[in-house]
């Protein structure tokens, strides 16, 4: 995603109330630019630095897949820390010169490739990846907010979101007369017990043309040999088994055990940095905390939104208090597919900075473009937490604090004047006065 600049003269108004379904225009969603059916001029993949050497079996696998002229659907699976994400990046770069655009279905809610944690997303990628080791935020073609870093809590909801995204891709990008884009499916590393059962369901629903299992030296962690998900009678895909990269073939940093919690926190920090224009320096967590404190939030009337709790039940009297100081998915009921297990499309994430129950207002911070917020009428609350690095900054008062502390802090403290930002405005200093903030 690109940084978005707000005008100095722009007044941040509240989200407008949803219009009746009969008169509501189609919900604006981010879309990739249209391209002709013939692929655009080939863009060579980025050159690999000397510290990254692609294993021979990986190179043979990407060569074999890219030589498939039928726009393959490739599912990559294997245990955690086996190199699935790195392999999918290499494969993506290998397919781009032939197809121009490649679909990428990101199903790992704990360590997503292009989206913030807690999301399943579909991306249409048209440019090569230059960093083989670090994921980069990209705007999704479609996104579902699952609201947790593991599918263990609600496998059914997780699979419903995944199937919805895949169906959307097939109907838009692989139907007769369309471009017939190839698709890469990156899967979670949970491959035992219920995780194995979910992978089987995923394989049976998607019916990939090529499956790439990655095997580690620890046999007990690996998936069974062969096409373990088939029951008989189905079309058999091509299976290309590769070994996890060793220290001699890929850089050491890509082979170290991932710090999942740290990665998720950094990803969320990077996501909410997009609330500010790119010319504002936010190099440290303290600077980001001050910047968030200076950002006038959107005022959202209770009557304009419905709160959906994804993984718990909350008494009606506590609904508004329950979303205070939480990360929520911003979604629209008008764009929810009419299916038996309806899953709303998510346009992005927001932080509920405060709740004023007496005035019936929520105060929300989000980097989502204003035009995409016009139809938002659903707040999806899951279990994704605000990064501790933003909440706990020495010498900095966080914008999420108890009322008895907030009352002692002046507007000058809350709105940092040293940011030289259009977001630092004294006229908005009382926007959430009296709010029930954490």
**Out of 14-18, 68-72, 95-99, 408-412, least confident range:** 14-18
Contact yes or no for 217/244 (Cβ under 8 A): yes
Q: What is the mean pLDDT of residues 256-278?
A: 84
202-207 own/partner pairs: CB under 8 Å, 24+ apart? 202/75, 202/107, 202/159, 202/162, 203/75, 203/229, 204/229, 204/234, 205/159, 205/162, 205/163, 205/166, 206/73, 206/75, 206/166, 207/73, 207/234, 207/235, 207/237
Picking from 175, 173, 48, 47, the residue whose alpha carbon sits closest to that of residue 101 is 173
Average pLDDT along the chain: 78
pLDDT per residue over 344-377, tens digit each? 999 999 999 889 989 999 999 999 998 889 889 9
Check pLDDT > 90 for residue 103. Answer: yes
pTM, rounded to two decimals: 0.78
Check pLDDT > 80 for residue 395. Answer: no
pLDDT per residue over 177-196, tens digit each? 878 999 999 999 999 999 99
| pLDDT reported for residue 208 | 97
Q: What is the mean pLDDT of residues 218-226?
A: 93
Give the neighbor-by-neighbor strand order of the sheet with 306-309: 298-301, 361-365, 346-356, 327-331, 378-381, 306-309
> Percentage of residues in the chain with pLDDT exceeding 90?
53
Q: What is the DSSP letter of 40?
A: P
Check pLDDT > 70 for residue 396. Answer: no
CA 31 to chain centre: 16
| pLDDT reported for residue 282 | 87
Q: What is the mean pLDDT of residues 280-286?
A: 84
Between CA 143 and CA 271 the distance in angstroms is 15
Tell me the Cα Rg of the chain: 23
Check pLDDT > 60 for residue 321. Answer: yes
Domain ranges of the chain: 56-258, 277-428
| pLDDT reported for residue 221 | 93
Give the residue, 195 or 404, on which the prediction is more confident.
Answer: 195
**Highest CATH level, class, for 56-258:** alpha beta
Q: Which CATH architecture has domain 277-428?
A: Beta Barrel (2.40)
Q: What is the mean pLDDT of residues 76-96?
A: 94
Q: What is the DSSP letter of 234?
A: S
| pLDDT reported for residue 283 | 85
Count other Cβ atoms within 10 Å, centred on residue 330: 24
Between CA 351 and CA 348 the distance in angstroms is 11
- The helix/strand/coil state of 87 is helix
Contact yes or no for 269/390 (Cβ under 8 A): yes
Q: What are phi and psi of 118, to 5 degrees?
A: 90, 0
DSSP 327-340: EEEEE-GGG---ST
Between CA 388 and CA 390 the distance in angstroms is 5
Check pLDDT > 60 for residue 421. Answer: no
Check pLDDT > 80 for residue 430. Answer: no
Q: What is the enclosing helix (H) or strand (E) of 143?
A: strand 142-145
């Amino acid at each position: 995603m690109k940084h978005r600049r707000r005008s100095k003269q722009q007044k941040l108004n509240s989200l407008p109330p949803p219009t009746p379904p009969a008169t509501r225009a189609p919900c604006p969603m981010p879309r990739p630019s249209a391209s002709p059916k013939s692929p655009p001029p080939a863009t060579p993949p980025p050159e690999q630095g000397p510290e990254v050497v692609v294993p021979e079996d990986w190179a043979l696998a990407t060569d074999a897949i890219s030589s498939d002229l039928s726009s393959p659907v490739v599912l990559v699976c294997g245990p955690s820390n086996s190199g699935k994400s790195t392999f999918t990046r290499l494969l993506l770069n290998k397919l781009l010169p032939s197809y121009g655009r490649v679909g990428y279905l990101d199903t790992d809610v704990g360590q997503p490739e292009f989206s913030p944690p807690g999301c399943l997303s579909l991306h249409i990628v048209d440019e090569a990846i230059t960093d083989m080791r670090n994921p980069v935020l990209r705007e999704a073609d479609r996104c579902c907010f699952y609201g947790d870093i593991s599918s263990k809590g609600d496998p059914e909801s997780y699979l419903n979101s995944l199937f919805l995204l895949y169906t959307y891709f097939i109907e838009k990008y692989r139907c007769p007369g369309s471009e017939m884009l190839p698709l890469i499916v990156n899967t979670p590393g949970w491959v035992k017990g219920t995780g194995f059962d979910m992978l089987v369901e995923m394989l049976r629903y998607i019916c990939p043309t090529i499956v790439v299992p990655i095997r580690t030296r620890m046999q007990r962690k690996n998936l069974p040999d062969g096409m373990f998900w088939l029951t008989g009678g189905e079309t058999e895909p091509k299976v290309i088994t590769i070994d996890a990269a060793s220290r001699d073939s890929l850089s050491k940093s890509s082979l170290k055990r991932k710090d999942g919690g740290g990665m998720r926190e950094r990803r969320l920090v990077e996501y909410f940095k997009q609330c500010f224009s790119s010319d504002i320096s936010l190099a440290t967590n303290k600077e980001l905390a001050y910047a968030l404190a200076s950002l006038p939030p959107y005022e959202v009337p209770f009557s304009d939104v419905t709160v959906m709790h994804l993984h718990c039940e909350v008494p009606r009297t506590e609904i508004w208090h329950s979303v205070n100081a939480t990360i929520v998915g911003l979604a629209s009921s008008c764009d929810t597919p009419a299916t038996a297990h309806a899953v709303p499309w998510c346009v992005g994430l927001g932080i509920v900075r405060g709740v004023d129950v007496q005035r019936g207002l929520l105060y929300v911070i989000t980097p989502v473009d204003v035009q995409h917020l016009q139809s938002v009428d659903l707040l999806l609350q899951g279990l994704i937490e605000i990064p501790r690095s933003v909440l706990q900054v020495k010498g900095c008062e966080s914008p999420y604090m108890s009322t008895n502390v907030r009352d002692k802090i002046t507007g000058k403290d809350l709105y940092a004047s040293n940011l030289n930002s259009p977001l630092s405005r004294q006229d908005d200093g009382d926007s959430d006065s009296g709010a029930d903030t954490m």
